[in-house]
Amino acid sequence: MEYFPIFLRLAGEPVLVVGGGEVAARKVDLLLRASADVTVVAPELGPRLAALLQSGAIAHVAQEFQPEHLNGMRLAIAATDRNAVNAWVAHQAESRGINVNVVDDRELSRFIMPAIIDRSPILAAVTSGGDAPVLTRRLREKLEAFLPHRLGDLAKFSGSLRALVKKRLTDAPARRRFWEKFFDGPLAADVLAGRDPATVARSVESALVQAESAFAGQSGVGEVALVGAGPGDPGLLTLRALRVLQNADVVLYDRLVSNDVLDLARRDAERIYVGKVAGTSSSQADINALLVKLALEGKRVCRLKGGDSFIFGRGGEELEALAQHGIRYEVVPGITAATGCAAYAGIPLTHREHAQSLTFVTGHAKDDGDMQVDWEALARPNQTIVFYMGLKSLPTIIAQLLAHGAPGQRAAAVVEQGTCATQRVVTGTLTTLEHEVAAAGLDSPSLLIVGEVTRLHETLKWFSAEAATDETLAAGRLSA
């Protein structure tokens, strides 16, 4: 992040604008909207600034800029059409520790001014730091269209109710739930539709009574959402998952969940890592107990797992523990590694000519090293088999398939860090794959796909670091 985004309260604060033309006038307009105390320094003023001076909205120093003009100023903006003057203003402001903006010159500017969407008191600001002004404008247009016209009224209306709601709902989680329901419900819709606020305010009473009785019955009891975070690319998170994540008080997450997914949680939500640390892992019993404890404390818990929680994710065991304690839960499915990796590797998992069935198998062996699977069935043709956690057992898996009748030329592939910008795909046959994987130095997390469909990777592959979305690139590597 090159810039630190803040909103500055400028009401009554002295701000210097150097320049008397149209560009300076546009900056002055914005400053006046924030009720700043604006002084313009310029030998002459253009018509817009002259009119503002006439109306008493600004002060004017009819001189060339002098460093003393900066004395006591909070901010300075250099908006003349002379680069040397602008640079002089910037230099002087910097040496006095006054934040300065030079119009259209980010190198000289300490702060830049974003595109804004003003639904005061709601303000949205967008910037590309000067890299992509057209993109910024596009985003602003989209936000303008997306944000309801009366959003500011809604914010003010809810602000007027805060004290009352706080008095009636003393429990903080109950209040948060009330507000979530409020903003998603008919009362907010009425305000946004322009109904008389006094009429809407009368309906608030019944909403509060309802909330009091709803939350009284379940005080102290939280809930858990088991959420599949997908295989890595944050763009593969479902809308439902995003919503749950943003409403959660606590997020319990695994090692395969990327930081960018975690960043989507509420800023004040507690984040608890329950994955592997240096070869040890929280035991499943510990995780189950923690989920139960947090829910009994009244928290809304998001249990975030890589891929899908019900596919080699031990989600069922966690739900059993919750069910035993009568805790409410929901399950939000995620894109499992098999579908995510196959899609991003250009490997269709089924194909009319090559594979009429699809099997997901865990390559994780039991303590005695024995994988409890029907090798004879897995060795048959016309199918695709996806082995999760199969990298370590790759030699065993290949040996077993060959021993049970699979031909050495059967195609197979390993996808490492699937769906991430760092994805790598290695293809081969049962005879060659082990060598190819070792030569490439593939590491965990990796997914083994066995079947003729993997030959299609060469012709159907499409994903590369260049094709990765910004979200995928930002997600970087999954930790092994």
Ligand X SMILES: C[S@@+](CC[C@H](N)C(=O)[O-])C[C@H]1O[C@@H](n2cnc3c(N)ncnc32)[C@H](O)[C@@H]1O
Least distance (Å) between residue 399 CB and ligand X: 19
Least distance (Å) between residue 269 CB and ligand X: 22
Stretch that binds ligand X, among 102-110, 159-167, 195-203, 442-450 (CB under 6 A): 442-450
User: 474, exposed or middle or buried, with CB in 10 Å at 0-12, 13-18, 19+?
Assistant: middle
Stretch that binds ligand X, among 203-211, 235-243, 305-313, 434-442 (CB under 6 A): 305-313
Query: Residue 209's Cα: distance from chain center in Å?
Result: 35
Facing residues of 250 across strands? 270, 301
Among 322, 442, 451, smallest CA distance to 392 is for 442
Which of 379, 478 has the CB closer to ligand X?
Answer: 478
Strand, helix or coil for residue 413: strand
Q: Does 446 bind ligand X (CB under 6 A)?
A: yes
Which of 172, 480 has the CB closer to ligand X?
Answer: 480
Binding mask 125-164 for ligand X (x = CB under 6 A): ----------------------------------------
Active-site residue, selected from the candidate residues 233, 249, 254, 260: 254
User: 190, exposed or middle or buried, with CB in 10 Å at 0-12, 13-18, 19+?
Assistant: middle
Distance between CA atoms of residues 281 and 293, nearest Å: 19
One-character DSSP codes across 309-366: TTSSS-HHHHHHHHHHTT-EEEEE----HHHHHHHHHT--S-BTTTBSEEEEEE----
Which of 108, 204, 456, 478 binds ligand X (CB under 6 A)? It is 478
Least distance (Å) between residue 473 CB and ligand X: 15
Q: Does 241 bind ligand X (CB under 6 A)?
A: no
Q: Does 256 bind ligand X (CB under 6 A)?
A: yes
Stretch that binds ligand X, among 289-297, 319-327, 395-403, 440-448 (CB under 6 A): 440-448
331-390: contacts with ligand X (CB under 6 A): 336-337, 341, 388-389
Number of residues that bind ligand X (CB under 6 A): 24
Binding mask 385-414 for ligand X (x = CB under 6 A): ---xx-------------------------
Tokens of 89: 């203003």
Least distance (Å) between residue 265 CB and ligand X: 19
Which of 419, 427, 454, 472 binds ligand X (CB under 6 A)? It is 419
Least distance (Å) between residue 286 CB and ligand X: 17
Is 254 an annotated catalytic residue? yes
Q: Does 306 bind ligand X (CB under 6 A)?
A: yes
Q: How many CB atoms lie within 10 A of CB 206?
A: 10
Work out the angle at residue 429's Cα, subtended by the Cα atoms of residues 424 and 434, and round it to the nearest 5 degrees: 65
Which of 447, 450 has the CB closer to ligand X?
Answer: 447
Q: Does 223 bind ligand X (CB under 6 A)?
A: no
Are the C-beta atoms of 125 and 144 separated by less than 8 Å?
Answer: no
Distance between CA atoms of residues 452 and 384, nearest Å: 8
Q: Does 444 bind ligand X (CB under 6 A)?
A: yes
Among 346, 345, 301, smallest CA distance to 327 is for 301
Which of 222, 234, 298, 307 binds ligand X (CB under 6 A)? It is 307
Which of 222, 232, 234, 298 binds ligand X (CB under 6 A)? It is 232
Q: At what angle do helices 151-168 and 172-184 cross, to 10 degrees?
A: 150
Q: Which residue has the tokens 């030569």?
A: 439
Least distance (Å) between residue 394 CB and ligand X: 11
Helices (H), 98-234: 133-146, 151-168, 172-184, 186-192, 197-217
Tokens of 213: 């009785």
Residue nearest to ligand X (CB): 307
Are the C-beta atoms of 104 and 46 separated by less than 8 Å?
Answer: no
Peptide linkage before 133 cis (omega within 30 of 0) = no
Is 27 an annotated catalytic residue? no
Q: Does 231 bind ligand X (CB under 6 A)?
A: yes
Which of 20, 334 has the CB closer to ligand X?
Answer: 334
Please, what is the end-to-end C-alpha distance for the chain in angstroms?
Answer: 26
Facing residues of 215 across strands? none
Active-site residue, selected from the candidate residues 156, 181, 276, 461: 276
Which of 260, 308 has the CB closer to ligand X?
Answer: 308
Least distance (Å) between residue 79 CB and ligand X: 50
Least distance (Å) between residue 375 CB and ligand X: 19
Q: Does 102 bind ligand X (CB under 6 A)?
A: no
Greatest Cα pair distance, the chain, in angstroms, is 94
**Which residues belong to the active site?**
254, 276
> Contact residues for ligand X (CB under 6 A)?
231-232, 256, 305-308, 311-313, 336-337, 341, 388-389, 415, 417-419, 444-447, 478
